[in-house]
Amino acid sequence: MSTKDYLEKDYYKVLGVSKTATKDEIRSSYRKLARENHPDANRDDPKAEDRFKEISEAYNVLSDENRRKEYDEARSMFGGSYRPGGGTGPGGFDMSDIFGQGGGGGGGAPGGERLSDIFGGLFGNRSRSGQATRSRRGADIETETTLNFREAADGVTRSFQLTSEAPCVTCKGTGARVGSAPRMCPKCSGTGHENTNLGGFSLSEPCSECKGRGLVVDDPCPTCTGSGRGKSTRTIQTRIPGGVSDGQRIRIKAKGAPGENGGPAGDLYIVVHVKDHPVFGRNGDNVTITVPVSFPEAALGADVRVPTLSGFPVTVKVPPGTQNGRTLRVRGKGATRKDGTIGDMLVTFEVKVPQALNDDAREALEKFRAATSDYDPRDGLEARAKGA
Ligand SMILES: [Zn+2]
Ligand SMILES: [Zn+2]
């Protein structure tokens, strides 16, 4: 509805209720009027349909708390001609007096009764499916992101562009062109489903005319082509905690699709991909690194410089007699833990053997072999192979 519509149309007058009418008063008044003016019940009155549309439009606005508020505000701000309740009928307005449907006739129009059942069904249906009033939690959204190794270890703030289902912005979800309103689906009489009799039992299916909505739109909203659904795109920023690992799915509470009618937002799930690092690896909260050492460094011991994730190398002592594959722990140089503390770095030494030797090196090694001839690294290997 445009502000112009709001200013020109007195929805309270259309529904015959006071400006302070309660939801129930508005609903019961609408039901009576809609029943009276329903096109199916007034086939020989071409104006009935217009009245019916007008009534539907008024009800669409006044039955929705937010839109009613908007409407009231627009009119109190700009509507000089608008006089609340002025002579149009106070809250106690009794429709049955006017339309003669009250205690008047025990034999009241059977057609009217049927329609009232139908309308009961329509509104029961609408409130069950939550279209009209019920608040609904927003949907969960899943997205993904790729982090480099360091971002995954330390945590990082990322922005995400999220697209979710939302009521169409142009028509506010009615599906009807602004200024018009949807009407009850004539095929299913607003129930949203149709029953096919299969001889013996009947099958209930979503109405083919209105696709289960219970409402049809004569003049569709050009933005959503009548569906009433739209997409909302938002950008959110969120912190991805440190210590996430490749393939992990993290949940960010209440950052999913917004709720409807005041319902809570859904959650956002982020599937994290972590790129491999050429040097560092991860083992839980610990960062791993393999550091090559020469045979003399391993045998004699040495101080070696080891790079860390932060970029500042540390000096690590290789103990004399270090075996290939030995792992040392360097505290506080790992990934950030959930509680904000820092994990460790696990340094694994890999003893490298030179592929080519110069004469001096060869001579020295020959001397070394002679000097260690009583050391047999395979001592007892064959015996162990036979045993067990
Ligand atoms: Zn629309
Ligand atoms: Zn239908």
pLDDT digits (tens, 9 = 90+) for 44-97: 777 777 888 888 888 888 888 878 887 887 777 654 433 333 333 333 333 333
pTM over 0.85: no
Tell me: do 40 and 4 sit in the same domain: yes
Tell me: do 265 and 290 sit in the same domain: no
- Which residues 6+ apart lie within 8 Å of 322 measured at CB? 293, 297, 298, 299, 301, 349, 351
What does the pLDDT read at residue 116?
34
Averaged pLDDT of the chain:
80
pLDDT band (50, 70, 90) for residue 107: very low
DSSP string, 52-73: HHHHHHHHHHHTSHHHHHHHHH
Spacing, Cα 27 to ligand 2 middle (Å): 21
| Helix-then-strand count for the chain, H and E | 11, 15
Of 19, 29, 9, which is closest to residue 85 (Cα–Cα)? Answer: 19
Q: What angle do CA 304, 310, 312 make, to 5 degrees?
A: 40
Tell me how far apart the alpha carbons of residues 313 and 304 are, in angstroms, rounded to a whole number.
10
Tell me how far apart the alpha carbons of residues 86 and 103 are, in angstroms, rounded to a whole number.
28
Spacing, Cα 221 to ligand 1 middle (Å): 4
Query: What is the span of the domain harbouring residue 263?
Result: 137-182+217-276
Spacing, Cα 59 to ligand 1 middle (Å): 18
Spacing, Cα 167 to ligand 1 middle (Å): 8
- Which residues 6+ apart lie within 8 Å of 65 measured at CB? 133
For residue 41, the 8-state DSSP code is: G
What does the pLDDT read at residue 261?
67
Crossing angle between the packed helical segments 47-62 and 23-37, to the nearest 10 degrees:
170
Tell me: do 205 and 61 sit in the same domain: yes
Q: What is the CATH number of the domain that holds 356?
A: 2.60.260.20
Tell me how far apart the alpha carbons of residues 144 and 378 are, in angstroms, rounded to a whole number.
52
Spacing, Cα 373 to ligand 2 middle (Å): 96
The token pair at 358 is 């110069």
Choose between 122 and 202: higher pLDDT. 202
What does the pLDDT read at residue 374?
93
Number of separate domains in the chain: 3
User: How do residues 294-343 score in pLDDT, each as one tens digit?
Assistant: 999 999 999 999 999 888 999 999 999 999 999 999 999 988 887 888 89
Spacing, Cα 185 to ligand 2 middle (Å): 5
The answer to whether residue 224 scores a pLDDT higher than 50 is yes
Tell me: do 265 and 330 sit in the same domain: no
Residue 25 to residues 18, 72, 121, Cα–Cα distance (Å)? 9, 17, 18
Tell me: do 269 and 172 sit in the same domain: yes
Distance of CA 243 to the CA centre of its chain: 24
Spacing, Cα 261 to ligand 1 middle (Å): 17
User: How do residues 140-151 score in pLDDT, each as one tens digit?
Assistant: 889 999 999 999
For residue 320, the 8-state DSSP code is: T
Q: Which ligand is nearest to the CA of 183?
A: 2
Tell me: do 246 and 372 sit in the same domain: no
The answer to whether residue 212 scores a pLDDT higher than 60 is yes
Q: Which residue has the tokens 């960010």?
A: 252
Tell me: do 113 and 238 sit in the same domain: no
Tell me: do 87 and 142 sit in the same domain: no
Q: Which ligand is nearest to the CA of 172?
A: 1
Q: Which ligand is nearest to the CA of 187?
A: 2
Tell me: do 146 and 60 sit in the same domain: no
Averaged pLDDT, 13-38: 84
Averaged pLDDT, 103-132: 37
The answer to whether residue 112 scores a pLDDT higher than 50 is no
Choose between 19 and 97: higher pLDDT. 19
